[in-house]
Structures are given as structure tokens and as C-alpha cells.
Structure 1
């Protein structure tokens, strides 16, 4: 892992005691030709030729005396993804190579937890856009979008992925998904690091806001350029009051009309006195 330490194994399979005055030990990279560190007879400690490995690559004299010529490599960088060659030579046997080991080092870095941005209050069958971002990983990731309704993979033709190297030499990824929205839409973004056998996932569902019950339609919203304002529902007591007042006015008008009509009929049919 980037920034961690690793041990590259190089162990002689036979014998337990070695006179280091009789051995040359080299750790090197063949392409390009680079000596990582080496030990020569009579030296009190291993040496370095390349500044990239200065104070990072280390051999243990105590362990080499037991036939363990493993390399300790600290503060791993992306440039350390190489084939390392361990060579142990015995001086007393005409510079015979008594041990050769090739170690291929793979370097990886964890991606950040993906963040999914979602559209707000789309209409049924409207094309909507989801954006998934994750940063500072290595090697290049594989991005999947999953339909959580049936856990099926969405068609890769619906997504557009952009992967690029940042200033640290690690990868950032942005994936854009465009699909038709339905009321039950629930999608998940998955960032796969194949080298680490690791999947990071983040889900997002339109139509629900924090604190609301899944499956229950969200409160209608009015969208403006700079804010979202809830539309307050009409209170039950206010609606009842409006209805009562309206019915009362209608009853009063009806009563007045009926009274006038009745007075007119009564005046015309029964009055016998002087006009």
C-alpha cells in the first residue's frame, strides 16, 4: 500500500550460519538498471547508490547471518512497482551465485468512499443524471452502476467515466449515469479495486429526504434557482372553517330570498283593507 512498508523475501533454503565476510549481497532493479542496496564483505552496514531508496531500503546484518537476505522497504511509492532482483554471491567459491530471487512488487492505494449526487424532484420518465466521484486510488478502477430494485447491472452505455491522474500520481474517477426516472428508482455506484479485491459502494434514491419513510412519497417541493421551499399543505381546521362560512352565507342569502317571495305572495292574496 502507498505509504506503508513491505518485506521482499530472499531466504537461503539451507544452513543457518553464514560468515558475511564471504558473501556479496545485491538488491537491484533490472529495468532500468538500478542498485537498490548492497552489502560487501567488511562493511558494517549495507550501502545505497540510488537516492530514491536512501533511508528507505534496509538489510539486517543479524538476519543475513542466518541466511535471511530479505529487503525491508519503507514508505512505498508508486515508483516502487518493479521487479526486484536479489543476488547472493559467495567469494570463496569463485564468485558463485548461491541464491537468486525475483520479487515482483505490486503497489495499490485505497479509493475514497464514492459520493453520489442526485437530481431533485424529477418528473416521471424524465431523463435524470447521477454523478459518482472517488479519489486517490491505484490502480485504475472499474466503475459499475447497479439497479438496487433487482440488483442488476445497468448498461455501461448509460454511463460516462472519466479517470485521470492527480498531483499525487493517484487516480481520481468521475462517473456520470443518465437514465429515465421512475418513482421506485434506487441506484448504487460501485468502485472496484481489482488489485485489492475491494468494492466500495454508495447508494442514492430520488424522492426521499432524510427522516422520511422509504416508499412514502416525499413532500412536494417548489424548485427555484437558489433554494428549495416546501409547499405548506392546507390545514384541516382552516378548510373546515372556510366550508362552514361559505355554507352560512349561502343559507342566509337563500333565507332572505325566500322571505321576500313569501311576503310578496301574502300581500297580493289576502289584504282587503284600504291601500
Structure 2
């Protein structure tokens, strides 16, 4: 009867003499599949009827069953709900001493220490294998998007907002001066990191800086586990700024300079027009009929 209660059996097995625990570390992306290795160190063929195999995790100090194999007993129905239909052992591989766990559709919850325990009934439930596998889970953050101020305004504070979503683990966030790639003072930044419905992290970072004639900043999201740094592409230019200069405000003076040039051009046109009028008043007028004779296609115009 007790074979139908793997939780009770596990407590009994845990009280037996322990072997040395082997430790491993594995990385996996969210949504992917992974194999957690648990292999008997020597070449050996096992009888499945002689084996008890457990994969478990510890939650708040309590063991939770991921999957298991008990000889002479159905190895289904006792798994933790989060691992049901996602964790699998291969009977054929176990006969060859390979007790590895195949875990599918990785989620952030799977960032755990997994413990593989193998016992032999014929040896009075002696533990022959104890392997601990630490699974590190990662997910790529979206490319950060920076929202620049709506327009330049002298003598006022400028606010930039950076957004990146669906990443794991929790990121490091930096604002940089793209002019010299220096990291901006952390006191100018405010980061909000939240967990979404998928268990992934969303990031919103706000940078506030004093107005300056030329500002070119970037937002960097660092995923330490993936050794990855993502920096935003150039934001949409502020009206009147040069494309590609995120938050650039040097064009305030360029707009004024352009307005002056436009005024000079209009004045020049007026001067040239006045000169033309003076010239026509002093020069003899050409005979319009002579013009018509020279250009017959203008015959529709009357001569006076």
C-alpha cells in the first residue's frame, strides 16, 4: 500500500545513508527544452524492477515531486501540477544507467535546484546515485525603446523614458552619454521593474537631466546570465532636431540661424525686383507686334 504514496516513500528514502552528491549547473531559455543529466558513473545495466528513481525540488523546505519511477507501481499522478506533462524519464535509458530528466517548455518557475535520487531495492534501498542540478533560466529582453521629450525647451528639465519587456532574470539598467559612452549618474535615474503574467520582467526607466544645447543619451539593458547588453536604437528625432541624435537640442540655435537666412533671401528678392523696375522705366519698350512675329505661337495675345 505504501508504494502508492511516493511522498511517504521519499521521506523514508531520505533518512537512509546518503552518497556523495554530484552538483551541476545548466542554462535554458524560457519556452525551450532541456536535459538535466543524471548518469551512473560506471557502465552498468539495470533491471527496472529493481529501481526507485526520483526527481524532486525543494519549495519552502518541503520536497515537491517533479517526476519519478517506482518499480511495480504506476509512475503517474503524484507529480507537482506545474510539472505534469512537462517532465519525462526514459525507461530505455534508465536500463543503461541514464536517469536524466527531460524538461519541456521551460518557465521562470523552473529556476530551481533539481535533485536526482536513485535507489536499488535488491540492496535494501541503498542510494546509488545522488545528483543535484541547478537550472538557470533566461529570456531575452526586447530592444529598449527610448521616448524623447516632445520638444526642446531651454532652462527646463528634460525627461527620457526607456522601456523593455519580457526578460529574465532581473536586469541591470544603465543610461549612457553616447558622446563618450560614459555611464550617467544613478541619481538622475529611476527604474521600475515588475513581473508580468508570464513571470517575466518588464522594465521602465526614467532619466531626468537639466537642459543643455546638445544631449545624446542611450538606455542599456544588461542580462547578466546571457552576457548580453541591449542599447536602444536612435529614437524618433525631436521636431527640429537632427535625425539620429536622441534628445539632441543643438538645433535651437540652428533654427534661429535658418530664420535669419530666410529673411535675407526675401529681402534680396525684393531688391532685385526694384532694380528690374528701374531698368524697365529707363529702357525703350520693345514692339509687342515684333515679339509676336518672332514667336508665332503667342498669336493669341493682342497688340496695342
| TM-score after normalising by structure 2 | 0.69
1:73 aligned to 2:107? no
Q: Tell me by how many angstroms 1:238 deviates.
A: 4.9
Moved more, 116-125 or 131-140: 116-125
Aligned twin of 2:179:
149
Aligned twin of 1:132:
162
Q: Tell me by how many angstroms 1:118 deviates.
A: 0.8
Aligned twin of 1:24:
52
Q: Tell me by how many angstroms 1:137 deviates.
A: 1.3
Is 1:81–1:107's contact at 8 Å kept on the other side of the alignment?
yes
1:170 aligned to 2:200? yes
C-alpha spacing 1:129/1:237, structure 2 compared with 1 (3 Å): closer
Q: How many aligned residue pairs are there?
A: 240
SS in 2 for 1:28: strand
Q: Following the alignment from structure 1 to structure 2, what is the Cα–Cα distance between the partners of residues 112 and 152?
A: 23
SS in 1 for 2:232: strand
Aligned twin of 1:209:
243
Deviation string, structure 1 residues 232-257 (Cα, Å, up to 9, x no partner)? x7498754331134567899xxxxxx
- Deviating beyond 6 angstroms after TM superposition, the runs of 4 or more aligned structure 1 residues are 248-251
Q: Tell me by how many angstroms 1:48 deviates.
A: 4.4
Is 1:35–1:48's contact at 8 Å kept on the other side of the alignment?
no
1:82 aligned to 2:104? no
RMSD of equivalent CA atoms: 3.2
SS in 2 for 1:21: helix
| TM-score after normalising by structure 1 | 0.76
Which structure is larger by alpha-carbon Rg, 1 or 2? 1
Deviation string, structure 1 residues 186-212 (Cα, Å, up to 9, x no partner)? 21100111222211111447621379x
Is 1:187–1:204's contact at 8 Å kept on the other side of the alignment?
no
1:55 aligned to 2:85? yes
Q: Following the alignment from structure 2 to structure 1, what is the Cα–Cα distance between the partners of residues 249 and 204?
A: 29
Q: Following the alignment from structure 2 to structure 1, what is the Cα–Cα distance between the partners of residues 276 and 81?
A: 96
Deviation string, structure 1 residues 155-198 (Cα, Å, up to 9, x no partner)? 00011111112222221111111113434422110011122221
Give structure 1 stretches of 5+ with no counterpart.
222-229, 252-275
Q: Tell me by how many angstroms 1:142 deviates.
A: 1.0
Is 2:152–2:249's contact at 8 Å kept on the other side of the alignment?
no
Is 2:196–2:202's contact at 8 Å kept on the other side of the alignment?
yes
Q: Following the alignment from structure 1 to structure 2, what is the Cα–Cα distance between the partners of residues 29 and 117?
A: 43
Aligned twin of 1:15:
43
Q: Following the alignment from structure 1 to structure 2, what is the Cα–Cα distance between the partners of residues 183 and 46?
A: 70
1:99 aligned to 2:129? yes
Q: Following the alignment from structure 2 to structure 1, what is the Cα–Cα distance between the partners of residues 249 and 85?
A: 59
Is 1:46–1:59's contact at 8 Å kept on the other side of the alignment?
no
